[in-house]
Amino acid sequence: MPPFSIIIKKEIRLSALPISMRKLKDLLRLKYEAGLSQRQIAGALRLSLGVVNKYLKAAEATGITWPLPEDLSEGQLRRRIFPPSAPLPQTQYAPIDFATIHQELKRKGVTKQLLWEEYVEANPDNHYQRAQFFFHYQQWRDRLRLSMRQIHRAGEKMLVDYAGQTVPIVNPITGEIIPAQIFVAVLGASNYAYAEATLTQQLHDWIGSHVRAFEFFAGVTQLVIIDNLKSGVTRADRYEPVTNRSYEEMLAHYGTTALPTRPKKPRDKAKVENSVRLVERWILARLRHHTFFSLTDLNQRIGELLTHLNQKPFRKLPGSRRSQYESLDLPALLPLPATPYQFAEWRYGRVHIDYHVEVEGHYYSVPHQLRKSQLDVRLTATTVEFFHQNRPVTSHPRSDRLGAFTTIPEHMPSHHRAHYEWSPGRFLQWAVEIGPHTRDFTRGLLESRKHPELAYRSCLGLLSLAKKYTPQRLEAACQRALVLGTLRQASVRSILERGLDSQPLPETDTETAVEPLVHENIRGAAYYR
């Protein structure tokens, strides 16, 4: 009788032949009734010549002839041609601890060859050979659930997803019902699970859930397996998926990276799908009769039930999720960074012609050379940063003033910067250097407008007349304009052009004296002191 390992190999090859009992009957009929050759039979039944030869030899060895007995069923025919091999006495070989082998294979660097060598060393006189050891382990593993057939190394993967089921949260004031989203993360090797509720699946909640999951696991895995959720994956692709930049930045802070599953390939995330089902059955199902009025209360209850789930013993494997986590995943996890992650969101912004970029209704300046360029915008809770071709450009304190501007003078062109630096005080100081009447006329221009900025150009035009006509003539022209009661820069220019500044001033009395302007929209001189 051949060795046991040879019997196993023969049974595997024959049982794997792609032939049905109907074709087997046709094969026997064509051989014994029609008298065809093996090559002709192979062509007629579309089988290989080797398959025809092996089945005919197996039939001859068991004494099967044609025609077949009428009471012979297909099952009996198969058992006669391929009788099951007699099981070897179990006492002849040392038993194999398949559950321990399955767990040890999750450790980094552990192979089946190493485990077989350790098995032989522990049982030198009554051990299975290498092929038998592998075969029986494969038989045992095939009886496990599909979600446990994949080998996940310790500390290698964290799989994340959202549950399809939500939990309603009732606003105690308005009665509004908000469906809370359930985030689930599970470690690949130990099946240790984490779950929490968030108000949305948007980017800030998605990233915040990852941060809290890393803290719950007290470490970081080498990979994060994600579904193609829009918050994590900008463009789903089987070969080159594009992940969200804000999400990538968070993962880089923790020293890990994301591996999106292939679209329409549910087996890529079978473990997390099963964990989601466990969370729905062991946690959410127990909350169906509870009413929650805040997210904090809901997460507190989820945490209590999650502890019970992780400590629940396995049915087919030793220990629990908690014990497997402590022995497998926890020692292999990457350490948490020294500083906590600060949420930042990445966006795109176009530089307007006025060298400002609009971000959430507020306008921030950038160097004027970048006008009409597209910049990357990084938003945190306190700052707004701009990048051009991955190089930092500038940053501003974040502002929530809608429609307002935050401008750095150095970003402006030189001629714009000069205008930006204008102020009522600067014009008055300039006018004082010419004379008191020029000062009073300039003050009158500024006070005559609802906003002083509207008089800047008039003041600039007025004071520039000193270069063309000398400061003394401008002082005299301003004095005449004040006596005449006009506060227009064009009037002063006309006086200078016609040479009226050298003429005697008209006589004035109290009746014709110019009264100071009083209006609710005029600020008054005290405003500029």
Contact present, 407 and 507 (Cβ < 8 Å): no
Q: Mark which of 332, 366, 384 sits at the end of a domain.
A: 332
204 and 72 in one domain? no
Same domain, 117 and 235: no
- Same domain for 251 and 325, yes or no, is yes
As for how many domains the chain has, the answer is: 5
Q: How far apart are CA 227 and CA 268, in angstroms?
A: 9
- The domain boundary residue, chosen from 277, 305, 332: 332
My answer on whether 181 and 327 are in the same domain is yes
> Higher confidence at residue 405 or residue 396?
396
| pLDDT at 208 > cutoff 80 | yes
* 80: confidence class by pLDDT, cuts 50, 70, 90: confident
pLDDT tens string 155-169? 888 888 888 889 999
Q: Is the pLDDT of residue 494 over 80?
A: yes
Q: Is residue 339 assigned to a domain?
A: no
Residue 150 within a domain: no
Which band of pLDDT confidence, cut at 50, 70 and 90, is reported for residue 333?
A: very high
Question: By residue range, what is the domain housing residue 461?
Answer: 422-528
Q: Name the pLDDT band for 236 (thresholds 50, 70, 90).
A: very low
Relative orientation angle of helices 456-469 and 424-434, to the nearest 10 degrees: 20
Q: Are residues 185 and 251 in the same domain?
A: yes
Residue of 509 and 428 predicted with greater confidence = 428
Name residue 5's beta-bridge partners: none
pLDDT-derived band at 525 (thresholds 50, 70, 90) equals low
Has residue 234 got a pLDDT over 80?
Answer: no
**pLDDT score of 100 more than 90:** no
Q: Are 486 and 469 in the same domain?
A: yes
Q: Is the separation of the CB atoms in 229 and 258 below 8 Å?
A: no
- Tell me the β-bridge partners of 292: 169
Does residue 319 share a domain with residue 208? yes
This prediction has a pTM of 0.51
CATH of the domain at 28: 1.10.10
Compute how many other C-beta atoms are within 10 angstroms of the C-beta atom of residue 131. Answer: 14
Q: What is the pLDDT of residues 239-275, one digit of tens each?
A: 344 467 888 888 889 998 888 776 555 555 566 677 7
Q: Tell me the angle at which helices 436-447 and 456-469 cross, rounded to the nearest 10 degrees.
A: 160
Same domain, 166 and 288: yes
* Per-residue pLDDT at 8: 36
Average pLDDT, the chain: 79
Asked if residue 13 has pLDDT above 60, the reply is no
Are 165 and 125 part of one and the same domain? no
What average pLDDT score do residues 315-319 get? 77
Confidence bin at 145 (pLDDT 50/70/90): low
Q: Decide which of 65 and 524 is more confident.
A: 65
Share of the chain above pLDDT 90, in %: 13
Residue 109's pLDDT is 66
Average pLDDT over residues 56-76: 77
Asked whether residue 25 carries a pLDDT value surpassing 90, the answer given is: no
Cα atoms found within 13 Å of the Cα of residue 426, Cβ hemisphere only: 12
Per the domain annotation, does 454 fall within a domain? yes
Q: Within this chain, do residues 200 and 325 fall inside the same structural domain, yes or no?
A: yes
Regarding whether 283 and 180 lie in a shared domain, the answer is: yes
Query: Which H or E run contains 74?
Result: helix 74-81
- Please report whether residue 337 resides in a domain: no
Same domain? For 308 and 354 the reply is no
Q: Which of 179, 181, 162 is nearest to 170 (CA)?
A: 179
